[in-house]
Structure 1
């Protein structure tokens, strides 16, 4: 038998997603879906960016991603009743409120933030 052809597969880049960290997801009354991912910094494996992604289910190919600035893993995402504001909270007690800029689904900004101090006994 003769060799007819050879396939050489491109090496895939090292994944920057942290699969061991649980995903948090929330669905709004406006059919917006928010979910989290944590990405490792390519230069420093110990540095992680805690990301929030927002998808309009009518246009799922348009994903708006936010580097949340949270210092710990995001443990909670919750929409308000209008579906235009999103609350995120992390394990350190940092809470952020995200709002649409100019009522655009693909433009979000942190409008409020607060940090809860640990209760000392």
Structure 2
């Protein structure tokens, strides 16, 4: 599902995103809609994404950087950040940048992009 203003918004239901193929399909959809950002509901990400030692988060984030499309993880991820100081630090650092943001909702994403 596409949103407005260059954001491709993924539906909250659907298969979990976990590997390169899933991400490349999503990037292709975003390009097809002329989007410069993709908003992914947190519940669409496999739990491996939130365990930094798996490398899944880094691989997914890097794909979006390589294709010059921003990635916003939308929703409450506190159960993961409460359990991992490393993840909490990575989220804070990501939110300082321009490519990967963790936001509460689409309104926060829209505000950050304006």
TM interval, shorter chain, is under 0.3
Q: Which has the higher contact order (CA 8 A, sep 6+)?
A: 2
Q: TM-score, normalised by structure 1?
A: 0.22
- Max Rg structure: 1
Q: TM-score, normalised by structure 2?
A: 0.23
More helix per residue: 1 or 2?
Answer: 2
More strand per residue: 1 or 2?
Answer: 1
